Each structure stands twice: as structure tokens, then as C-alpha cells.
Amino acid sequence: MLTKQKLITIVLLILGIMLLLNIAANRFFIRLDFSEGHQYTLSKASKEILKSLDAPVTVTAYFSENLPPDVAQVRRDFKDMLTEYGSASNGKVVYNFIDPNKDQETENKAQQAGIQPVMINVRERDQMKQQRAYLGAVLQYEDKTEILPFIQPGSAMEYALSSAIKKLSVKNKPQIAFLQGNGEPALSDIPQLIDQLSILYEINTIQLTDSTTIPSNYKTIIIISPSDTISQDLLKQLDNYLAGGGRILAALDRVKGNLTNATGSSVSTGIEDWLKNKGIEVENGFVVDENCGSVMVRRQQGTFVLNTPVRFPFLPVITSFADHPITKGIEQVLMPFASPIKYAARNSLVHITTIAKTSDKTGIENPPVYFNISKQWTKNDFPYMSLPIAVAVDGKLVNNTYSKMVIFGSGDFATNGSGQSAQKLEPDNVNLMANAVDWLSDETGLIALRTKAINARPITPNLEDGTKTLIKYFNFLFPVFLIIGYGIIRYRRRKILRNKWMNETYGQ
């Protein structure tokens, strides 16, 4: 018989167990992440950065409230990410969310902190209107501040946070250097790449002369689109640098296209022969690809002159990438006036990997070339399949020292240009080059985070309205019917058991 004392004992025991479980859950807990690519799970690189913190990081997140669902999701994702950071850092990452739209004073404070509003379209009562929205954050570490002015929906939040924290907390950034003095683009011609790399590296320039030696503290030497001849004596300095364990990225224009006069020619600087001696040949030819970009052509239509896009196979769009850290998360890269790469490792101590290649319908045009914009391309113009256009090399390249190189068959793909010809590059163009620098220079693993985005998976917009309605009501009603069904089954089972007990006879 259940006495009052026993009942009190059971209640106290249950309360004690619940208290112990709460204490244990506060100290020892796990989170299950079933998202694609574990988007909400912090990487080893981020955890290592957080472990090295000597002081707290304060994140002030300026996020508007009452936003459309697709934009409001950014706030939730960012808050979930900060929760993970706070847990992994043992409380050294603290955060606070502020709604700048609350009042004018708060909005002014957000703008003074460096967070500017963006205009988003909001549907309200069957009308479309624009709303000022804030989606940014300010990070503070000791006396230093870093601003994330705009957290874009679907962006790589972990990379943005981890790289910002590392930028604030790192004492000495690794040093990299861009080769100059041989016709390469100036740093002002590659602003997007410089902005990306400056987060993690101290950026320098270097000119090779007979009296210079490449400093050993430069993690990587970056060579983009040289156009002047480089002497053998200067190329020996690159050999000496590799012999000391240095890393080299070479993005070469073996051919050059000029759309102004519609001609293409070859480029010879001497570095192509230097690479060939190492078993890597950037061929003297233009890649043409059926999967390509377009050029704008002025055409007369009646009394009007219109700019019309015309497919131009000399601008291959690369979508075939190896499973490699450099290309992780990269979807497509436009590589104008690229050249194919041939390679054959000279010894078993060198490993060469194709990291990017053309489509299954590609060809090669040998210079000099005249660009016929109106040419009708046929399948006969694309007799080749999957030509290598970028390779990663690692091993004992010079003497007996381990080193690395990355070779691209185009240098223009990461160059914005100068003056009136400057243009904004697609993010993947910059990410591919930056990932290559990371693979050569950085040992922390942040390379894997640059393209780690949080991807929404909405219902495809091509569904019929009836199908969408069916899915909508199924999601709403199925759980209800499931609970009702469970209740009916439970009721019937209990009724059967009750009847069984009532019909049982007990011996005297």
C-alpha cells in the first residue's frame, strides 16, 4: 500500500534525479547536427582558434526584428552559431542582440559602429514595400574591433566569425608576397583578392633582382600573369626558395586575348620553361569550351543599337573540380583565355593532382587567333574531354625538401583590372585563388570554412499549386492524425486488457 511517507519519498527522489540530470546536462551535453555538411557544427579549426583566446570576445549583433521569414532565418542561424561559439570557448565568446529599428538613438548607434542598413522587399497586405534592415555585427577583443557589416543569407557564417576572431587575436600574421616587376598586375588591380587574403595574412610585394634573396619568412610567393621575360638567374631564386621549403602559386597567362582588336597571341616569360623542367607544362594554346561565358556585342535592330550577349567559347566556365581542400564548396569559375596543363611527375617523390578541368566538350585553338564573334560553333570544334586547367603539386620538388605549388592555366580569372576596364569578380573566382593560398600557407584548416554556407532547401518553385497545397495540408494534418491514431490504438489495447482482467477467474 502506498503510504503518505512513501509518496513523499518518491516525489523527493524524482526531484533529486531531475536536479542531478539538469546539473549533468549543464556540464556534459551533446548536440546532434543533421544539416547538410554539418553546417551548425564548429570545425576543428574554429575550436583551435577559440582555445587560443587570452581574453573574452564580445559580439554585438545588430539585427532587425519582424523581418520576412527568409531573412529572419539569418538572425536565427547567426544566434545558433554564436551559441556554439560560446559553448566551445568556455564562455569567452559572449554576445548581445540589439534591434536598431527600435528607436532612432539605437539606429544611430548601429551606424556609428559601422553597420549600415540594407533595403529589403517586404510584402504586406498584398502590397510590396521596402524596409530598412540591419544584419551585421561588431566584434571586440581587448582594444581591437572588427566589423561584419552585412551577414548575407546563406553566407559562410563560421568562416566570417572564425576569421574575424583570428584577425583580432593573432599576434603575428603569416606573411605572403606577390611577385612584381615583370608585368604582373599591381595590388590595386586585385582588390577583392587582397581584401580576402588580408584577413589572415600580412601581404607584401617582392621584386627579384640579382642581389635579392626571397625571405624565408614568406610562407608563399604568388605569381599572377607576368608578361615580361624573367631571366634564368631570377628563376634560380625561385628554386632556392622551394629548396628551403617555400610555397609558390603561379597563375599564368600562356596566351593573351584582346577583345578590342579581336586577336589572341602567345605569351612567353621563361617561367613556363621553368615549370616544364618540373614536369608541368602550361600549353601554348587557347582553351575553347562549349560551357562558356558571353561577351556583349552591339547590334543594329531597326533604328536602335542594342547590346546583345553572345556565347564566347574562349571564356570557359569551369564546373568540374576534384575533391580537394582548394576546391571544396566551389561551384563554378569563369577562366578567360585559359590554357590547358600537361604534367608528368619526374619522380615518385612528387605528387600532382588535377584540381580543375574543362567540360566534356572542349577544344584547343593555337595562337595567333582571330576572334570571330559571329562564328557558329559545332561539336567538331570541341573534340577533347576534361582538359586539366589547374593542378596542385606537393612533394620534394627541389633537392630533398618537401614543398608545394599550385599552377593555374589562367591569371585573369582573379584579376579585377584597372581604370575603366575594372570589373567585379564572382565570389568563387576569388575563393578559388584564396583557397589555393590557404592550402599553401595556412595550417589551421580555415580553408574548409570559406565556402561552408548554410543552405536553405525550399520546396521547388516549379511545383503545381495543387501539389503545394497538398504538401501544406499534409504537413499540418498528418501529425494530428498520427496522435489521434495512437490514442485510438492505445484505447483499444487498454479496453482489451480490461476485459481480459474482468473475465479472469481466481481460485479460492
Report CA 14 to chain centroid distance, whole Å.
Answer: 49
- Alpha helical stretches, state H, 52-156: 69-88, 104-112
Q: Do residues 265 and 316 share a domain?
A: yes
Q: Which three cell numbers stand for residue 418?
A: 584597372
In a domain, 7, yes or no: no
CATH number of the domain at 278, please. Answer: 3.40.50
Nearest to 359 by CA among 265, 295, 289, 255: 289
Q: Are residues 109 and 144 in the same domain?
A: yes
Same domain? 427 vs 376: yes
Q: Are 103 and 138 in a shared domain?
A: yes
- Hey, is 327 helix, strand or coil? helix
In a domain, 460, yes or no: no
What pLDDT is attached to residue 197?
92
- What confidence score (pLDDT) does residue 271 get? 95
d(Cα 336, Cα 316) in Å, to the nearest integer? 6
Are 179 and 95 members of one domain?
A: no
Say yes or no: 371 and 486 in one domain: no
Evaluate whether residue 283 is within a structural domain: yes
Residues 73 and 205 in one domain: no
Asked if the structure places residue 459 within a domain, the reply is: no
What does each of the 508 residues of the chain score in pLDDT, given as a tens digit?
556 677 777 778 888 887 777 776 665 555 655 555 556 678 888 888 898 899 999 999 999 988 888 788 888 889 988 999 998 899 999 999 999 988 899 999 999 999 999 888 777 666 777 788 899 999 999 998 999 998 877 677 888 898 889 888 888 889 999 999 999 999 999 999 999 898 889 999 999 888 778 999 999 999 999 999 999 999 999 999 999 999 999 999 999 999 889 999 999 999 999 999 999 999 999 999 999 999 988 776 767 777 888 999 999 999 999 999 899 879 999 999 999 999 987 788 899 999 999 999 999 999 999 999 889 999 999 999 999 999 999 999 888 889 999 999 999 999 999 888 889 999 999 999 999 999 999 766 666 666 665 444 555 555 666 777 778 778 878 888 888 888 888 888 888 887 877 776 555 4
The whole model's pTM is what? 0.73
Give domain status of residue 1, yes or no: no
Choose one of 149, 167, 185: the last residue of a domain. Answer: 167
Same domain, 119 and 265: no
| pLDDT computed for residue 180 by the predictor | 96
| Structural domain contains residue 458 | no
Domain co-membership, 231 together with 294 = yes
Domain boundary among 395, 425, 441: 441
Can you give the residue range of the structural domain that contains 261? 175-441
In angstroms, the Cα distances linking 184 to 8, 62, 96, 176, 188 are 83, 41, 46, 16, 11
The pLDDT assigned to 368 comes to: 95
d(CA 7, CA 11): 6
User: Which of these three, 147, 167, 187, is where a domain ends?
Assistant: 167
Is 111 part of a structural domain of the chain? yes
* Structure confidence at residue 35 (pLDDT): 57
* pLDDT attached to residue 406: 97
> What is the 8-class DSSP label of residue 75?
H
Residues 199 and 324 in one domain: yes
Say whether 505 sits in a helix, a strand or coil. Answer: coil
Question: According to the model, what pLDDT value does residue 463 have?
Answer: 60
Would 376 be classed as within a structural domain?
yes
Residues 475 and 353 in one domain: no
Whole-number pLDDT of residue 239 = 93
Of 180, 367, 398, nearest to 286 by C-alpha is 367
Please give the tally of structural domains in the chain: 3
Q: Left, alpha or beta for 238 (phi > 0: left; psi -120 to 50: alpha)? A: alpha
For position 264, what pLDDT does the model report?
A: 95
**Distance (Å, whole) CA 254 – CA 251:** 9
Question: Which burial class, exposed, middle or buried, applies to 145 when counting CB atoms under 10 A from its CB (0-12, 13-18, 19+)?
Answer: middle
> Do 295 and 251 have their domain in common?
yes
Q: Is the peptide bond before 368 cis (omega within 30 degrees of 0)?
A: yes
- pLDDT confidence of residue 95: 95
Q: What is the 3-state secondary structure (H, E, C) of 348-403?
A: CCEEEEEEEECCCCEEEECCCEECCCCCCCCHHHCCECCCEEEEEEEEEEECCEEE
Centroid of chain to Cα 2 = 64
